[in-house]
C-alpha cells in the first residue's frame, strides 16, 4: 500500500532562524579574527528585543550588537510596522567566558589529541532520490521558501511579502519507496496588511503562490521530479487566514529549535544536538557534518541507495565511542551493515581535530548554513569580508559546505571493490 511522507522548512525570517543566523554570524566573526575561538552562542529574539548569551573563549573582542543588527536588516526586518527592526531593536549581551572545566577536556598539547567538546550521538543521512542526495520532501520545501524570499526581495511579481514564512510538502510513495506524486503543499507567508477584505486578500495570496511561486520552484527541479507535480495537489495557503503579525513580534525565536529543518526533514535520525552558534570543537556540529560527508560519499559510490551513519563521542575523549551504519536493505555490496561500519572507521578519521582539518571547519563558513538547511547545499569557494572597530578588516577566501563534497567516492569504491 502506498504511503505519505511529509517534511517542512522555514524561511530566513522565521524567528528561530533569525536567532540561528545571529548566532552563526557571531561565530563567523570570532573565527575570522581568532580561528582558535571556542564559541557557544545562543540568541533569543522577541518583540523589539534581542538577547545574546553563551560562553566564549577568544583573543578577539566584537561589537556583538552591531553584528546582530546587520543580520536582522539583511534578512529584511527593516520597517517599524514589523515591531522588530535591526535599526531599532534593543540588543542585550550576556555572553561570558567558557568554563575551564569544559575547556580542559578539549584543548590538549597536541592538536591531534583534541578531545570531543561534548558527549552525544550524531547522525548523517543520504539517499539517491534527489541529485543532492537529500530527502525529496525537504528539498522541495527548502526551494519553496528560498524562491519565496527571492520574490520578496525582488518585489516585482509579488510586492506584499514579509520575511516570515513556512512550507510543508507531503509526497506519496509506492511500496518500493519510489516517489509517485506530490500530495499536499502547505505555504504560510507573512504579508503586508491589505486594504481589501480578508477573503479577497487570501484569494490573491493563494493565486500568486500557485501561479507564480510554484512554477519557479518546479523549473529548478529535474524532469523526473517535475512530473510529480500534477493538478491533483492539495494546496493549503495561509490556512489560518491573514498573517500580518509575524517574525519575532508574532513568536519568540531561539537558537537551535529547528534541528529537523536543518538536517533531513524527519528522514533518517537526529541525535538531538543543535548546530548554530557552536564552533567545530562541539561535535554536535562537526561530527554531524562528518557523518553527512560519509553517508553522501557512500551512496554516491554505490555502496547503498540509502544510508544512515551514527557517530558517538564522550566529552574530552579523542576517538569516537561507536560508529553505526544502517542501509535499510538497499546495500549493493556483499557485506553486513556492521562490516560496512568497520570499513567506514578505516576510511574516515573521526577524531575531532581530524574532522576540523578535513572539512576546513575553523574557517568562518557558518552564517550560510543557518537558513534553508545545513545539508544538501553546493560546496563552493567565496570571498568573505569581516570588519570590526577593534580588529580592523579581514578579507578571506573560504570554502562553504565542504561536507557536501564527493571527494572520497574513489577511495570508497576501492575499499568496497566497486
Rounded CA separation 361/117 (Å): 14
341 is in an annotated binding site: no
218 is in an annotated binding site: no
CB of 120 closer than 8 Å to CB of 288: no
Rounded CA separation 283/313 (Å): 8
Q: 72-85: string of b/e by CB count within 10 Å (b at 16+)?
A: beebbbeeeebbbb
Rounded CA separation 346/358 (Å): 15
Q: Where are the alpha helices (DSSP H) in 264-304?
A: 283-301
405 is in an annotated binding site: no
29 is in an annotated binding site: no
242 is in an annotated binding site: yes
Look at strands 161-173 and 179-191 and give their pairing. antiparallel
165 is in an annotated binding site: yes
295 is in an annotated binding site: no
274 is in an annotated binding site: yes
413 is in an annotated binding site: no
Sign of the torsion angle spanned by Cα atoms 312, 318, 319, 325: positive
CB of 322 closer than 8 Å to CB of 311: yes
Nearest Cα residue to 92 out of 137, 129, 42: 42
113 is in an annotated binding site: no
CB of 217 closer than 8 Å to CB of 144: yes
For the purposes of burial, counting CB atoms within 10 Å of the CB of 222, is it exposed (0-12), middle (13-18) or buried (19 or more)? exposed
Nearest Cα residue to 30 out of 39, 20, 21, 40: 39
55 is in an annotated binding site: yes
282 is in an annotated binding site: yes
Bind-site residues for K(+): 42
Bind-site residues for ATP: 14, 164-166, 242-243, 251, 257-258, 274, 278
Bind-site residues for Mg(2+): 16
Bind-site residues: 14, 16, 42, 55, 98, 164-166, 242-243, 251, 257-258, 274, 278, 282
Bind-site residues for L-methionine: 55, 98, 251, 282
Amino acid at each position: 500500500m502506498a504511503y505519505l511522507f511529509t517534511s517542512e522548512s522555514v524561511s530566513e525570517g522565521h524567528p528561530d532562524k533569525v536567532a540561528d543566523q545571529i548566532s552563526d554570524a557571531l561565530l563567523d566573526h570570532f573565527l575570522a579574527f581568532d580561528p582558535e575561538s571556542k564559541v557557544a552562542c545562543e540568541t533569543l529574539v522577541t518583540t523589539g528585543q534581542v538577547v545574546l548569551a553563551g560562553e566564549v573563549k577568544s583573543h578577539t573582542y566584537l561589537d556583538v550588537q552591531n553584528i546582530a543588527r546587520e543580520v536582522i536588516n539583511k534578512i529584511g526586518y527593516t520597517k517599524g510596522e514589523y515591531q522588530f527592526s535591526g535599526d531599532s531593536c534593543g540588543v542585550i549581551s550576556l555572553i561570558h567566558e567558557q568554563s575551564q572545566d569544559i575547556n580542559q577536556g578539549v584543548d590538549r598539547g597536541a592538536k591531534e589529541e583534541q578531545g570531543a567538546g561534548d558527549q552525544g550521538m550524531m547522525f548523517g543521512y543520504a539517499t539517491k532520490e534527489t541529485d543532492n542526495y537529500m530527502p525529496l520532501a525537504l528539498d522541495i520545501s527548502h526551494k519553496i521558501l528560498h524562491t519565496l524570499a527571492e520574490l520578496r526581495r525582488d518585489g516585482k511579481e509579488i510586492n506584499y511579502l514579509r520575511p516570515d514564512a513556512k512550507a510543508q510538502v507531503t509526497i506519496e510513495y509506492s511500496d518500493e519507496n519510489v516517489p509517485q506524486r506530490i500530495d499536499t503543499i502547505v505555504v504560510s507567508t507573512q504579508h503586508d496588511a491589505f486594504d481589501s477584505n480578508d477573503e479577497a486578500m487570501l484569494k490573491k495570496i493563494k493565486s500568486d503562490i500557485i501561479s507564480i511561486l510554484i512554477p519557479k520552484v518546479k523549473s529548478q527541479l529535474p524532469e523526473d521530479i517535475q512530473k510529480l507535480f500534477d493538478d491533483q495537489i492539495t494546496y493549503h495557503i495561509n490556512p489560518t487566514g491573514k498573517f500580518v503579525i509575524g517574525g519575532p513580534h508574532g513568536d519568540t525565536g531561539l537558537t537551535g529549535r529547528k534541528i529537523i529543518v536543518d538536517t533531513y526533514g524527519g528522514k533518517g535520525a537526529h541525535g538531538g544536538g543543535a548546530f548554530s552558534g557552536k564552533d567545530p570543537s562541539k561535535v554536535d556540529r562537526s561530527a554531524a557534518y562528518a557523518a553527512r560527508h560519509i553517508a553522501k560519499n557512500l551512496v554516491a559510490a554505490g555502496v547503498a541507495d540509502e544510508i544512515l551513519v551514527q557517530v558517538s563521542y564522550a566529552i574530552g575523549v579523542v576517538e569516537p565511542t561507536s560508529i553505526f551504519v544502517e542501509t535499510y536493505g538497499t546495500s549493493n555490496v556483499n557485506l553486513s551493515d556492521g562490516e560496512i561500519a568497520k570499513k567506514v572507521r578505516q576510511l574516515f578519521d573521526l577524531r575531532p581535530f581530524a574532522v576540523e582539518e578535513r572539512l576546513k571547519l575553523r574557517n568562518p563558513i557558518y552564517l550560510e548554513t543557518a537558513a534553508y538547511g545545513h545539508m544538501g547545499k553546493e560546496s563552493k569557494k567565496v570571498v568573505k569580508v569581516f570588519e570590526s572597530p577593534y580588529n580592523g578588516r579581514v578579507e578571506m577566501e573560504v570554502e562553504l559546505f565542504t561536507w557536501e563534497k564527493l571527494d572520497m567516492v574513489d577511495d570508497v569504491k576501492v575499499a568496497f571493490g566497486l
